[in-house]
A and B are shown apart, each in its own frame.
Chain A
């Protein structure tokens, strides 16, 4: 039976740092970058106060942070790091090493725009740029979700059918630096939930020597990639199993996505992270006026839950997908492109359009969400979408 949870007001970063404290990983190697800095700062305080047993490695760059985390994880340690923006970009080549070694590293990412121009605020260009690195990606709406997702990520990553690294994303400054209500599990409950880490193959096991990072050319490279893809496919089931177990512990339910007032919704917005919360408020307002609107918030986008999202949107007549990053394909953002492709073989296809929004931290308020719902209404009257890709709230 779970102990009582503590009701606190914390920033998203403080919440994540506390999740790390409760997980008490063997190794954390990290380099500070705005807006992730607080996570590492709080955590280093926990280290110096003796609240965790973690070996904390200060490194000279994010490339080294990921390299050290990879090394520690390959050696058999439960290893974590955290980053944002340019830091994630600098890790790029090591991200592929982590996933191809099948290392269950958990990394909180505080989403921030990539330069240039230099910008420290939120958009998703950093993690959207790493969708092909073989990492599982989970997105969080609030400080509560960031906390819950980090704890669950440990179990997902380390599951023998998965063994893949996981990024747990939250919106820079918006949730990372704003304080809000959340409930924190008892330390003992988190410890039990994540359990003791028992790696199956690791370098320090001298009884069963293994090699990480061998040469695999035309002969075996393909098989490595196929296995990674299979592990990613397995992750869907594991994510749901872990969520179910976590719900029993915490009372908070998670899935591959969250549908909000979706059942009979004709007009639906699909959006990740903190903007999904703002959208909920608008959905409530429009519902109170009798309008059939809803929200679909993807939680996991690697693996991409294509069938599940199509199924959840099967009753929708008009769908607006909002992406917080440009792809420069001229065909819309990443979530839009993948979701539209997922509908290719569907019997019923809603009208679908895309909005690129909130770049570099541009504030997205209920006003912009109202505009999107109203655009969808006009599209339904018109019978086709007015414009495939719209940049939302741009100065004229």
Chain B
């Protein structure tokens, strides 16, 4: 990856899009990349539609505005589709990665049929591994399959460190998240 990768996250407040954009940026930094991770702050409340962004590249990044033409769009909550135009500004050849039980073909139809789509049941995976619907970590696992940012094992190692700190060493939650990342990486379907 020699050029800048731009990512836009769509989620509802409370689903962890901001945390995901931060964790992804920190992981990419530890792999020697230049990074940005930031949410769009607004009057966000639990459940309201929110956006967050990442830029990841091999050169210093000076642009300080929202991502308007993403290479990848991450949809943490498929119920946003219809009320939010998640494909807006998507680059030619860009891809939309959706947390859904639908196949990429089915989701592609719902998105208007003109974009590349990948799907993964991040909520289902999260229920099975963490015991709660927290789709952000499995979506990061799926993302690493879709784009070549950093090797999955490096990412998992870094996440294990971060999550151990975040959850004060509660190993069950940490391992649940790691399993979620790994399963999503393996199960994501690219259309």
Contact = CB atoms under 8 A, between A and B. Distances in A.
A278 B62 contact: yes
B128 interface: no
Interface residues of B, number: 19
Contacts of B26: 9, 179
Contacts of B41: 35, 120-121, 173, 177
A179 B66 contact: no
Interface stretch (A68-76, A99-107, A362-370): A362-370
Nearest to A11: B38
Interface string A176-212: 0111110000000000000000000000000000000
Which among B22, B25, B63 has the greatest number of chain A C-beta atoms within 10 A?
A: B63
A281 B37 contact: no
B67 to A, nearest CB: 9
Given A7-B29, A9-B25, A281-B63, A177 B37 contact: no
Contacts of A181: 29, 34-35, 60-61
A163 interface: no
Interface in B1-32: 22, 25-26, 29
A177 B38 contact: yes
- Which range holds the interface residue count of chain A? 20 to 34
Interface in A263-303: 274-275, 277-278, 280-281
B157 interface: no
Contact of A280 (B22, B25, B37, B62): B62
Contacts of B106: none
Nearest to B55: A180
A179 B38 contact: yes
Interface string A328-361: 0000000000000000000000000000000000
Contacts of B63: 277-278, 281, 366
B154 interface: no
Contacts of A280: 62
A9 B62 contact: no
A278 B64 CA distance: 5
A278 B67 CA distance: 12
A364 to B, nearest CB: 6
B66 A365 contact: yes
A280 B26 CA distance: 24
B65 to A, nearest CB: 4
A180 B61 contact: yes
B39 interface: yes
Given A120-B41, A121-B41, A180 B36 contact: yes
14 contacts: A142-B64, A177-B38, A178-B36, A179-B35, A179-B37, A181-B61, A275-B64, A277-B63, A281-B62, A363-B66, A364-B65, A365-B66, A365-B68, A367-B68
Given A8-B29, A141-B64, A177-B38, 13 more contacts: A7-B29, A9-B26, A9-B29, A9-B35, A35-B41, A120-B41, A174-B38, A180-B35, A180-B36, A278-B63, A281-B63, A365-B65, A365-B66
